[in-house]
Amino acid sequence: MEKSIQLLACLACVLSTGSFVRTKIDTTENLLNTEVHSSPAQRWSMQVPAEVSAAAGDAAVLPCTFTHPHRHYDGPLTAIWRAGEPYAGPQVFRCAAARGSELCQTALSLHGRFRLLGNPRRNDLSLRVERLALADDRRYFCRVEFAGDVHDRYESRHGVRLHVTAAPRIVNISVLPGLAHAFRALCTAEGEPPPALAWSGPALGNSLAAVRSPGEGHGHLVTAELPALTHDGRYTCTAANSLGRSEASVYLFRFHGASGASTVALLLGALGLKALLLLGVLAARAARRRPEHLDTPDTPPRSQAQESNYENLSQMNPRSPPATMCSP
C-alpha cells in the first residue's frame, strides 16, 4: 500500500513538472537505476561530437544541434561559432535570420572559409570549414541567440575539437655562427603528428634529437640542432611522420688559411689579377678607337677656281679701265 502511494505521488510530480521517470524493476520489485530526464522541448541543450578529424588542405564539417524551451519560435535569431574558448573566444562565423525567415545571412566568415550547413530554424548550426591548415587545429563552440519577443541564448561549453593532420614540411633550415669560430645548424619542421627530425652529413651519424619549439604553432613545430659542424660538405635534415617525409639540405664550406702572411699574399694576388684584367679591358677599348681616326684624315677644303674670282672682281670693280678695242 505504501509503495502504491509513493508511485502515485511520483506520477503527480511528473505531470506537474513536465518530466518523465524511467525505472527498471527487478524480480524482487525493487526500484533500480532511476533517471530523471527533462523533456527536450522544455530545456536548452546542445549536441556536438567530442572531435572531428580532417587532413590539411581538405574541408571539415563541425556538427552542432540544439533544443530550446520555446516551441515554434520564429522570431529573429543569430548563429555564432567561436574558436579557442567559450563565451570569450574570437568569432569565426556569425549569421542572422530575420523573423519568419529560414535564410541566415552571413555577417562574418573568417578568411571566407567558414560556411553554415545547417538550418538554425530546424535547430541545426553545423558548420563547414574549407582549406584546412594546421592553425585551424583547435576547439570550436557553437551558440544561438533569440531576439524579439523572447530574449534567450545558449552556447556549448565543451565544444568540438577540430584535429588537423598534415605530412611533414620543413619550414626553415640554416647554418649559424657559434662559439669559438664554430658553426651550428638548425632545422625546423611542422606536421601532425609532430615529425621526428634526423640530421645526416659528412662524418656524422643520424642525430635523432629533436626539441619542440615552445609556444609556437600549437605544438606542431619541431626543431633539431647540430651544435657543431666539424667538416665541410652537405648536411641534410629529414622530417618524417606517419603521413610522409620531407628533407632539405645546407652546405658548409670554410676557408682554411695556412698563416696570416699567406692570407695577405692571396688577397693581394687577387687584387693584382683584378687590376690586370681592368687594364686589359681599357687597352682593348683604346685599340678599337684608333682605326676610326685613321680612316678620316684631316684634308683642307678645295678652293674655287682663280678665274672665277678674277671675273667676279672685274665685274664688281667700276674703276677698272676699259678694255682697248682694236678696229680693223
Q: Stretch 48-55: mean pLDDT, rounded?
A: 96
Mind giving me the DSSP string for 92-156? Answer: EEEEEE-TT----EEEEEGGG-EEE-S-GGGTB--EEE-S--GGG-EEEEEEEEE-TT--EEEE-
Q: If pLDDT is split at 50, 70 and 90, which confidence band does 206 have?
A: low
Cα–Cα distance for residue pair 159/141, rounded to 1 Å? 4
Answer with the residue of higher pLDDT: 91 or 36.
Answer: 91
For residue 326, name the pLDDT band (cuts at 50, 70, 90): very low
Structure confidence at residue 124 as a pLDDT band (50, 70, 90)? very high
CA distance 178 to 186: 12
Nearest to 198 by CA among 222, 174, 165, 177: 222
DSSP character string of 156-220:
-SS-EEEEEEEEEEEEEEEEEE-STT-EEEEEEEEEESPPEEEEEETTEEEE---EEPTTSGGGT
Q: Are 138 and 161 in contact (CB under 8 A)?
A: yes
What dotted CATH number matches 166-252?
2.60.40.10
> Above 80 in pLDDT, residue 262?
no
Structural class in CATH, domain 45-158? mainly beta
pTM for the complete prediction? Answer: 0.62
Mean pLDDT, range 282-300, rounded to an integer: 65
The residue to which cell 520555446 is assigned: 70
Q: Which three cell numbers stand for residue 59?
A: 574541408
Q: Where are the domains of the chain?
A: 45-158, 166-252
Instruction: Give the contacts of 92 (CB within 8 A, at least 6 positions apart).
Output: 81, 82, 83, 108, 109, 110, 114, 140
Cα–Cα distance between 201 and 235 in angstroms, integer? 4
Mean pLDDT of the region 119-147 = 95
Mean pLDDT of the chain: 76
Do 166-252 and 45-158 have the same topology in CATH? yes
